[in-house]
Amino acid sequence: MYIYGVHRHDLSGSILNTSTMEFLQLVGEVGFPIAGAIAAGYFVFLTIKFILAGVTGGVNGLKGIITALDNRVQTMNNDVVQIDAKVSSIMGVKPNVERIAANEGKEDARRD
């Protein structure tokens, strides 16, 4: 049998033709509205999957940036506390113990 000038056996090996035949078989079994709804649902699934993959990459990038900024803030806070302690000792003033303890993430355990 010839279809558009090509023998039917020549078309049967094509991947595109196989998926087309499977779709047409699905339409024949469940009807066009249901097959169309399935195809539309699959398209929506692929679209959402693509969008979420992009968002996930962006979120991971932002997470790395926030982690780096947090490390910088902690480093700067340590430097400020060290400078404060040095200036306090040079000027003969008692250093702010709560600030030093807060910098280490602990309550002041000393009882002076």
* pLDDT surpassing 60 at residue 7: no
Report the DSSP beta bridge partners of residue 3: 6
pLDDT band, very low/low/confident/very high, at 17 (cuts 50, 70, 90): low
* pLDDT surpassing 50 at residue 72: yes
DSSP state of 106: S
* pLDDT surpassing 90 at residue 65: yes
- Residue 110 near residue 95 (C-beta atoms within 8 A): no
What pLDDT does residue 75 have?
A: 86
What pLDDT does residue 43 have?
A: 93
Report residue 8 as tokens: 């039917």
What pLDDT does residue 2 have?
A: 47
What pLDDT does residue 107 have?
A: 55
What pLDDT does residue 66 have?
A: 94
pLDDT band, very low/low/confident/very high, at 81 (cuts 50, 70, 90): confident
Q: Is 0.85 topped by the overall pTM? A: no
In the chain, the DSSP E strands lie at: 2-3, 6-7
